[in-house]
Chain A
Amino acid sequence: MKWRHLIATLRILFFALSFIVLPFSPSLAGSNPKPDHQSSLIIDADKQFDFAQHHFTTQAYAMAIIEYQRFIYFFSEDKRVPLALYRIGMSYYLMNRFQEAVESFEKVIHQYADTDLSVKSYFMVSKSLLGLKDSGSAIINLHNLIALTDDVNVKDEANYRIGWIHLEMDSWEKATVFFAKISPHNKPKYRLERLSAELEKVKLLPKKDPEIAGLLSIIPGGGYLYCERYQDALIAFLLNGALIYAAYESFDEEHYALGGLISLVGLGFYAGNVYGAITSAHKYNRSKKGQFLRKLKESSKVNFWVDIENQGAGLALLWNF
């Protein structure tokens, strides 16, 4: 009995000692009140911004948006917050998420008016709206910028951009009006002399008159032939000829139901031949103008490159020799 009692006492003592000694043991996690400076890192504004910028420059735009948002949240007093907002807009733009890009750039415009970034954001709102195929709103936005700014260079750039939007919209005369608004000292910068000379060539573009195409289609395929669609012309001629002949034969043989049905189908194809010829003339003109515009862009357009590093506005000059 004595031995048992002794053992029980020793066991209690052992556990009691364990509870007293163990908390002071250095091997226990969390027992060290000093932080481990070698394995921990304090993120400051610079580090967070650099990290966001790293994602942005490596084109990981979705990650860049998150990191720039984190930067804005934790370092809202930092002077780079407007730039972070602008970069969020740029990230959305480069991801072709134009609606969100517009919203981000508008935040910069409203929160940081009268800054360089605000001007840049105006231009980017227009570019994003063009991405949304809303040319009208893009032009209105640039007009707003012209009305708000006193900087002649900014006004000139806005007019130049409006001119090009009109060119893209096939409004050649309006485009010329806006190019003419650019101040004389900036005209060489935008190479307007060359652009005007190229624009004169619009008058020399080959055209097909839709009315003539429609009239020529009285003879099936004639309109397609006029629009240089030779295979379509042959098919239209043979198909319509065959249907007209089949309808004539059917009525001649007193198969009126058959004749009526063939006539119904034939009338559709005949009207389709007229409609198709008119459409083909329009398509021909549109295609020629599109080709001309592409050449014009390659030879005369001053491109404003996408501002990745935000080191100032850039102009890219293209010249075909």
Chain B
Amino acid sequence: MKMTRIDYRTVIVILLLFLLNGNAFAGQKQKIEKNLTTTEPDAVLVLPIQLYQKYLSKVDGNRCPMEPSCSTFCVTAIKKHGFLLGWIMCSDRLTRCGRDEEKISIPIWINNKKRIYDPVHHNDFWW
């Protein structure tokens, strides 16, 4: 079946909406856990996030209530656990961003703003 013109537009719009999912992905590029390397398939997924951090997040501002921000968390998770598990952890983090995590995680203050401390190693400690 051929893909119609509307299909292409919708795909682009959805991708943009996904990337611009403000609160969830907002956050400047932060320090990523040391000694993590990226394989080529992982880089495919990491690249759009890094582009987002480099160009969109700088304009959008650092509004993610979590520390590290969701985008940094995703890059770290993908680099640490590979494409599949990294993507799953990333999706989980986007779902949890800034709500009930506050009850259970340590609060920290960055530039006088309260953030919820939830790095990757707080989410993979049990396996």
- In whole angstroms, how far apart are the Cα atoms of A268 and B89 in the complex? 9
Instruction: From known contacts A268-B87, A283-B122, infer whether A276 and B99 are also in contact, taking CB-CB under 8 Å.
Output: no
Q: Are A282 and B125 interface neighbours, CB within 8 A?
A: yes
Which stretch of B7-15, B28-36, B47-55 is in the interface?
A: B7-15
Instruction: From known contacts A210-B126, A232-B95, infer whether A268 and B90 are also in contact, taking CB-CB under 8 Å.
Output: yes
Instruction: From known contacts A229-B100, A231-B100, A257-B7, infer whether A269 and B91 are also in contact, taking CB-CB under 8 Å.
Output: yes
Q: How many A-B residue pairs have CB under 8 A?
A: 80
Query: Interface 1/0s, chain A 220-248, versus B by CB < 8 A?
Result: 00001000111110011001000000000
- In whole angstroms, how far apart are the Cα atoms of A236 and B123 in the complex? 17
Instruction: From known contacts A231-B99, A235-B99, A256-B1, infer whether A275 and B92 are also in contact, taking CB-CB under 8 Å.
Output: yes
Contacts of B124 in A (CB 8 A): 279
Interface of B (DSSP majority class): helix
Q: Pick the most buried of B18, B91, B99, B100: most chain A CB atoms within 10 A of its CB.
A: B91
Query: Interface 1/0s, chain A 200-218, versus B by CB < 8 A?
Result: 0000000000100000000
Contacts of B93 in A (CB 8 A): 272
Q: How far is the CB of B77 from chain A (nearest CB, A)?
A: 11
- In whole angstroms, how far apart are the Cα atoms of A319 and B60 in the complex? 52
- In whole angstroms, how far apart are the Cα atoms of A259 and B21 in the complex? 20
Asked whether any CB of chain A lies closer than 8 Å to the CB of B88, the reply is yes
Q: Are B104 and A284 interface neighbours, CB within 8 A?
A: yes
Partner of B14, one of A231, A262, A272: A262
- In whole angstroms, how far apart are the Cα atoms of A296 and B111 in the complex? 34
Instruction: From known contacts A236-B95, A255-B4, A272-B89, infer whether A224 and B11 are also in contact, taking CB-CB under 8 Å.
Output: no
**How many chain A residues touch the partner (CB < 8 A)?**
33
Q: Are A230 and B100 interface neighbours, CB within 8 A?
A: yes
Query: Interface 1/0s, chain B 60-101, versus A by CB < 8 A?
Result: 000000000000000000000000000111111111100111
Q: How far is the CB of A85 from chain B (nearest CB, A)?
A: 34
- In whole angstroms, how far apart are the Cα atoms of A288 and B37 in the complex? 35
Q: Which residues from 250 to 270 on chain A have a C-beta closer than 8 Å to any C-beta of chain B?
A: 254-258, 261-262, 265, 268-269
Q: Are B11 and A275 interface neighbours, CB within 8 A?
A: no
- In whole angstroms, how far apart are the Cα atoms of A262 and B17 in the complex? 12
Q: How far is the CB of B97 from chain A (nearest CB, A)?
A: 9
Partner of A279, one of B10, B11, B91, B92: B92
Q: Are B11 and A258 interface neighbours, CB within 8 A?
A: yes
Which residues of B are at the interface with A, using a C-beta cutoff of 8 A? 1, 3-4, 6-7, 10-11, 14-15, 18, 87-96, 99-101, 103-105, 122-126
A-B contact sample (14 more), CB < 8 A, given A255-B10, A257-B3: A229-B103, A231-B100, A232-B96, A235-B95, A235-B99, A254-B1, A257-B11, A265-B14, A268-B91, A269-B91, A271-B91, A272-B93, A272-B95, A279-B126
User: Can you list 21 residue pairs at the A/B interface with Cβ under 8 Å?
Assistant: A229-B96, A229-B99, A232-B95, A235-B95, A235-B99, A239-B95, A254-B1, A255-B10, A258-B10, A258-B14, A261-B15, A265-B14, A268-B88, A272-B88, A272-B89, A272-B92, A272-B94, A272-B95, A273-B95, A278-B126, A282-B125
